[in-house]
Structure 1
Amino acid sequence: MNRQKFSDAKENFLQRRYGVSLGRRYALAAASVVLFSVLGCSQVDSNKSALAQSSLPQPETPLQKKTANSDTKIVGSNNKFGFKLFSQVLKGNVGEKNVFISPLSVASALAITYNGANGSTQQAMAKTLELQGMNLPDINSYYAVALKQLLENPDAKVQLSIANSLWANQDVSFAPDFLKRTQDFYHAKVSNLNFQDAAASTIINNWVKENTKGKIPQIVEKIEPNQVLFLINAIYFKGNWSQKFDKSQTAQYPFYVTPGRRKQNPMMSQKGDYRYYESEEFQAISLPYGKDGKISFYIFLPKQNSNLKAFYQNLNVENWEKWIAQFSKQKGFIRLPRFKTDYEVTLNDALKSLGMEEAFSSKANFSGMGKGKNFAISEVKHKTFVEVNEEGTEAAAATSVGIVATSFRQEPEPFKMIVDRPFFCAIRDNQTGSILFMGSIIDPH
């Protein structure tokens, strides 16, 4: 079958399935979502009654023809949520230790959870996740198409994988439509487990370990008696610099953890043409990965007369977009530390502070997950890993949303940039603008 006939066949299939006509530009993407929904069902254990015995219905709303405008809006929302979350995690932490999170991982895990929320719980989550005014089909379609097609494997020298999974207690039935959406749009592995079995947490952790290439071996430590569901996102990234650092140029230089405390650290150096931006408060550089530079490592270094605390007071999505737009090609020299760090945080308090408190309480309304039981979020746990060296960067993240059953309803001159003091960094997909990771590096080691 030639390409034209194949494309026409897909569009006819989508018209019969959803009753809408999609432009050819979107037919391939939409068809891949439909195909995965069929294949994804095979991941459910056939001998488990909670999931496999359900006859999965059609989605409540047809897959919409998406526009670039809706994509841009959701990317902006995710980034805005990411900066808000980062700010909450940093509170009381600036200057003390490294912080490194994946806003995309947290947003993805919570987006799946959002599919089961109703009423005031849904409204609270929409406000926290910056999703007000957006309909669920557009949100789900964005994750289905953009995350898999735009972010995954963008370059031969860049590995980027995004995986989702849903682990259900075999003793609890969940709404078939909720489960189907996690498969259709989030390509999630859906499985039943006996949560009373001590091996259940090992099975979940092995999935996380596999999908982060061993960088995050554990996310679930203990399964409580009232635990009914885990929604997990895992992201793995490995990119070689477009211009690798020469290892022979790496040498020990001082890094000032605080103005009065310095330590020797291996520092990598090189000269070249870079996308660069400088303001009165900081220097910033974009170090691209791979052949095409679709993803970059961004470093924002406060100047000597400033510090990270002052920088973070101005770090928000509006300023971020303004700064990114002002980067321009410039010759220069960069010296930065080689470092490796891992980080973990429970996000309950941060998310509650951002407006999601109801979702953790007995008033939570997750009736979209299933009838007959009342559900609430028990814990949102987040773990990350990052290593930056002469070859490039390797990073991973995992986010687990635990659900429990509740008993109640409810050409200038060449610049010189010496990164010898605490700095902010981010890994950004330059095609979509999505921020994959962001961090505060206080003490590289």
Structure 2
Amino acid sequence: MIQETENTEVVSKVPELAYKFSKFLTDKGIENETVVWLNMAGLLIASIIIVFLIDFLIRKILLQMFTRFAQASKSNFDDLLVANKVPRNIAHIIPLLLALELVPIIFYDFPDFEIVVEKALQVFAIVLTLWIVRSLLFTLKDYLKTLPGLRDKPVESYIQVFMIFAWVAGIMSAIAVITGIPFLKFLTGLGAASAVIILIFKDTILGFVASIQVSINDMVRIGDWVTFEKFGADGDVIEITLATVKVQNWDKTITTIPTYALISDSFKNWRGMTSSDGRRIKRSLSIKMDSVKYLSEADIEKLKGIQLIQKYLDKRQSDIETHNKTNNIDKSLAINGRNLTNLGVFRKYVQEYIENHSAINKDMTIMVRQLAPSSQGLPIEIYAFSNDKRWVNYEYIMADIFDHVIAATPYFDLEIFELPSGSSFTLKQQE
């Protein structure tokens, strides 16, 4: 009677087909232990086939549904879901749940196997959850990058931070499942190892803090031109992650900079220039100081032939003559009273030339000034802003200006300083 009750319980828990299969084998005279193993193997093979078949069908159905919906929708978010394999990962959920339900049936006579397989499936469930979360976050990242307001933000850094915490939680959950220790109790035990964890993830923590500060203070965006002399970086930012910032230099090489270096070291961001109305020209040429002189009447009349400064010379000459006559200045020596110099007139000419140049922004600072004299002459600096900020055009504009200014220098009886070369000594010997 007891044996009958046990058999009835087995029949209620084991599928009828499997029960008939085991009875068939018993009737054939096969030993009970062998029947149990064959029954388990048959159930296992049948369950694997069923689970894989259901997984295949669900995956195909979900992919077709998502693909059709993506084609009909105007938004590209659903396209990104398909591209990042979100439907494919979600399709594994139902087969996994079915497998968990079948394990007690398959391994009814093997409780030790049942525990091991259940734990393995539970660990896989944790990994599958992480896959789904990761694919959803990657989809969100790709979608946010298509939005103009977020295209240059370090979205990847925040996703990486979230995924790090997710993987840590997943690994701890998996260890808790394998060891059989409750998750909260396992988590409490890790408190003692927090110092070791902080040491291991030191760079990650520094990068996380740095990425938050970089984002909040808007220090760097993707696409910014930055110069970081310490790391030899000079080019455009192409990627900002939790741990690193990638800069593509002008020679097309890639420099990788630790994210926390952006807040611990000094670097130059050219965004202010690119977002302004002009790009600065700040360059000087050195004049030989012994070529500077007062201008005579004949010199002034000669320079009046230069149209840009003709009106200036007329007015200045009139003002100077009036001042000298009013104050009875003895002009037998040029040093007495007020006088025009070839360097002063030259500076005025360059100023007028820059102000009339079509490529210069007239609404920004325009200045031609003297810098401190040095052993290499007297620097005359041009300070202005070009309308065109593109590198090639900017260099062309600056070169065009200095081509003209250098060629104009002899008209004012001025000489540009340069260190003597071999040809200079050769000419000296010939003289």
Would you say same fold, with TM above 0.5? no
Larger C-alpha radius of gyration, 1 or 2? 2
Higher fraction of helix: 2
Normalised TM-score (structure 1):
0.19
| TM superposition score normalised by structure 2 | 0.19
Higher relative contact order (CA 8 A, sep 6+): 1
Between Structure 1 and Structure 2, the one with more strand by share is: 1
